[in-house]
């Protein structure tokens, strides 16, 4: 398809979105294939193709989200693709009804003039959704296809697949991509099919977080029960560590939290008296990148707790033939950096006295020289659902991905007890009491007897005061200075007879 035709098709889609949701970029774009290869999905009265799209949209789109629904095949002069069917902002009403109504009249597309059924261009459709419907902004692109990618009825589908492959794996816009191969046998007047593929492409990091949140919510799994197959990324979170056995050490009690995190309850008093505790932990190393088998890799791990980074001793540094769903036991030694933990007299310890001071940390797992292989079980499933279709090559891992990283959060709870706090409070109270005593002494009135030229007088004074003393003629002869610790005569006139006391 020429760039001019592509531009017209993309402009038509973008204008539809802008008219329906002004000043709001779509966060979901649903691309529904209606090329000639999809004839059985439209012609079979028992086909669940359209109902599936409506249910997936209803599960994924939340109130306030913007969505675009578009049919796609291959754009030609007079027949742009993708073609928007619906563009709106979701309200409180279910999305299901709106999507179903928009899909109801959709039929298999035909080429202009000739009347032959339209061809398919998957890359064109996804590129249009990212560049125009989303306008380059974050969001999710959903692709419903029978996996046949043949623009201009080109039989060199392998080359077309590689182009689609490059768009997904090396395109900078797609941060995450997953696929659901679904069993959907349909039979039409001309063709039949066994399966349908649903792809989800998360655009940019915000789109990735949106997809992760959707998968975590479980809403999509109520519609699609098939396990998602990961396409991208293949260099992050490829493995998962699950503690299965922990040998506690004096002063430290380990536990596994419901979310899989490892927690260590540390008695600060006990650990302060001995060497840094080292616990033996046996993990279940799980392959987290279905549908790939980690054929081989070198593994290393380190902990980062209280600002201290330390290597974790592993019983084995090799991973071999780790298939999805088949965990491998891994023994390790984890040493807690006691020297870096806050002391019992630290402000943090005093603030958390009587309760646990929580120190977040993590365990980093690195896989190097990683070699991935598509699992045989997945290959067989794809061959059953899409017989003779080379598109599963899209799951072939890129050669540049030879390493990956996984992170396990760790929580260290430091138990200091209330002793230091009570001692600190006792010292504070003593200091306050001494201060109060000084304050009373400073403000309390005092009586002092002084003798001026043989005459005894009683002078009322207080700490910090300077009291002048006069003789019978009214002349100043001295000054009485009073402090917290006593009295003294100052500025004594020469020859004057003045003393303190009788």
According to the 3-state scheme, what is the secondary structure of 275-323? Answer: CCCEEEEEEEEEECCCCEEEEEEEEEEEEEECCEEEECEECCCEEEEEC
| Low-confidence stretches of the chain (pLDDT beneath 70) | 1-26, 114, 150-160, 248-251, 268-277, 337-357, 390-393, 415-445, 484, 502
SS3 389: coil
Torsion, Cα 184 187 190 192, to 10 degrees, reads 40
Number of independent structural domains in the chain: 3
Judge if 181 and 274 occupy the same domain: no
Query: What is the C-alpha separation between 47 and 275, in angstroms, rounded?
Result: 68
Name the nearest CA neighbour of 334 among 282, 285, 381.
282
Query: What is the C-alpha separation between 426 and 410, in angstroms, rounded?
Result: 35
Judge if 137 and 60 occupy the same domain: yes
**pLDDT value of position 352:** 47
Query: What is the C-alpha separation between 384 and 138, in angstroms, rounded?
Result: 35
Query: What is the C-alpha separation between 61 and 206, in angstroms, rounded?
Result: 15
Q: Which domain holds residue 45?
A: 3-232
Residue 491: other Cβ atoms inside 10 A: 13
Cα–Cα distances (Å) from 52 to 59, 192, 201, 216, 386, in that order, read 11, 18, 18, 20, 19
**pLDDT value of position 5:** 44
- 77 backbone dihedrals φ, ψ, rounded to 5°: -55, 125
Question: Considering the domain boundaries, does residue 114 fall inside one?
Answer: yes
DSSP single-letter state for residue 65:
-
- 387 backbone dihedrals φ, ψ, rounded to 5°: -60, 130
Question: Considering the domain boundaries, does residue 433 fall inside one?
Answer: no
Which of 387, 406, 421 marks a domain boundary? 421
Judge if 402 and 464 occupy the same domain: no
Q: Are strands 455-462 and 445-452 parallel, antiparallel or unpaired?
A: antiparallel
Judge if 405 and 470 occupy the same domain: no
The strand pairing partners of 66, in sequence order, are 89
Query: What is the C-alpha separation between 197 and 149, in angstroms, rounded?
Result: 12
Judge if 380 and 455 occupy the same domain: no
**pLDDT value of position 440:** 56
pTM of the model: 0.73
Cα–chain center distance at 224: 24
Q: Are strands 66-72 and 328-335 parallel, antiparallel or unpaired?
A: unpaired
**pLDDT value of position 180:** 96
For residue 24, what are the contacts with CB-CB under 8 A and spacing of at least 6? 66, 89
Strand-by-strand arrangement of the 313-314 sheet:
239-247, 278-287, 328-335, 313-314
Judge if 266 and 164 occupy the same domain: no
Name the nearest CA neighbour of 52 among 122, 103, 127, 108.
103
Query: What is the C-alpha separation between 441 and 435, in angstroms, rounded?
Result: 10
Name the nearest CA neighbour of 317 among 339, 296, 337.
296
Question: Considering the domain boundaries, does residue 316 fall inside one?
Answer: yes
- Contact predicate 390/311, CB 8 Å: no
The strand pairing partners of 187, in sequence order, are 192
Judge if 251 and 384 occupy the same domain: yes
Query: What is the C-alpha separation between 291 and 404, in angstroms, rounded?
Result: 16
Query: What is the C-alpha separation between 328 and 293, in angstroms, rounded?
Result: 13
Question: Considering the domain boundaries, does residue 105 fall inside one?
Answer: yes
Which value, in Å, is the radius of gyration of the alpha carbons in the chain? 39
Which of 232, 262, 278 marks a domain boundary? 232
DSSP E strands in 306-444: the ranges are: 308-311, 313-314, 318-322, 328-335, 356-374, 404-415
**pLDDT value of position 3:** 36
Judge if 219 and 274 occupy the same domain: no
Per-residue tokens: 336: 């807690």
Question: Considering the domain boundaries, does residue 434 fall inside one?
Answer: no
Judge if 212 and 283 occupy the same domain: no
Q: Residues 21-57, buried b or exposed e (16+ Cβ, 10 A)?
A: beeebbbbbbbbbbbbbbbbbbbbeebebbebbbbbb
**Is residue 76 packed enough to be buried (19+ CB in 10 Å), middle (13-18) or exposed (0-12)?**
buried
Judge if 195 and 299 occupy the same domain: no
Judge if 254 and 223 occupy the same domain: no
Question: Considering the domain boundaries, does residue 429 fall inside one?
Answer: no
Question: Considering the domain boundaries, does residue 435 fall inside one?
Answer: no
Which of 207, 232, 257 marks a domain boundary? 232
Judge if 11 and 151 occupy the same domain: yes
Residue 7: other Cβ atoms inside 10 A: 13
Tens-place pLDDT, residues 279-291:
788 888 888 889 9
Name the nearest CA neighbour of 68 among 27, 23, 114.
27
């Amino acid at each position: 398809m020429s760039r001019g035709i592509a531009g017209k098709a993309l402009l038509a889609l973008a204008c539809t979105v802008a008219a329906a949701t002004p000043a709001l970029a779509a966060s979901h774009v649903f691309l529904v294939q209606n090329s000639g290869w999809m004839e059985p999905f439209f012609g079979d009265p028992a086909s669940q193709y359209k109902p599936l799209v409506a249910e997936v949209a209803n599960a994924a789109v939340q109130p306030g989200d913007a969505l675009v629904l578009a049919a796609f095949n291959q754009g030609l002069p007079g027949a742009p693709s993708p073609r928007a069917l619906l563009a709106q902002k979701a309200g409180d009403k279910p999305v299901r009804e709106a999507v179903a109504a928009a899909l109801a009249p959709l039929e298999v597309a035909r080429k202009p003039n000739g009347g032959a059924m339209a061809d398919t261009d998957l890359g064109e459709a996804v590129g249009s959704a990212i560049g125009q419907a989303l306008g380059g902004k974050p969001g999710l692109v959903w692709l419903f296809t029978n996996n046949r990618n043949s623009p201009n009825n080109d039989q060199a589908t392998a080359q077309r697949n590689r182009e689609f492959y490059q768009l997904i794996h090396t395109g900078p816009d797609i941060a995450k991509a997953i696929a659901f191969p679904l069993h959907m046998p349909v039979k039409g007047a001309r063709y039949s099919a066994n399966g349908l593929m649903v792809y989800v492409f998360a655009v940019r990091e915000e789109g990735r977080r949106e997809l992760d949140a959707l998968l975590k919510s479980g809403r999509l799994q109520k519609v699609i029960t098939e396990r998602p197959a990961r396409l991208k990324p293949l260099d992050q979170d490829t493995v998962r560590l699950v503690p299965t056995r922990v040998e506690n050490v004096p002063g430290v009690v380990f536990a596994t939290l419901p979310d899989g995190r490892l927690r260590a309850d540390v008695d600060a008093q006990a650990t302060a008296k001995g060497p840094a505790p080292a616990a033996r932990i046996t993990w279940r190393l799980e392959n987290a990148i279905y549908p790939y088998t980690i054929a081989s890799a070198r593994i290393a791990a380190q902990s980062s707790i209280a600002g201290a980074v330390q290597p974790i001793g592993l019983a084995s540094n090799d991973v071999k033939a780790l298939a999805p769903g088949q965990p491998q036991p891994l023994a390790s030694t984890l040493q807690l950096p006691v020297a870096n933990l806050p002391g019992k007299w630290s402000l943090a310890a005093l603030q958390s006295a009587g309760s646990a001071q929580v120190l977040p940390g993590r365990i980093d797992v690195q896989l190097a020289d990683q070699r991935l292989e598509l699992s045989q079980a997945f290959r067989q499933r794809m061959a059953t659902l899409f017989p003779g279709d080379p598109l599963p090559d899209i799951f072939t891992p890129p050669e540049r991905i030879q390493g990956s990283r996984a992170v396990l959060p760790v929580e260290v709870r430091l138990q200091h007890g209330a002793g230091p706090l009570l001692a600190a409070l006792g010292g504070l109270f003593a200091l306050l009491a001494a201060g109060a005593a000084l304050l009373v002494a400073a403000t309390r009135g005092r009586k002092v007897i002084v003798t001026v030229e043989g005459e005894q007088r009683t002078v009322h004074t207080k700490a910090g005061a300077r009291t002048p003393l006069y003789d019978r003629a009214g002349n100043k002869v001295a000054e009485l200075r009073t402090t917290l610790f006593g009295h003294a005569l100052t500025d004594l006139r020469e020859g004057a007879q003045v003393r303190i006391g009788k």
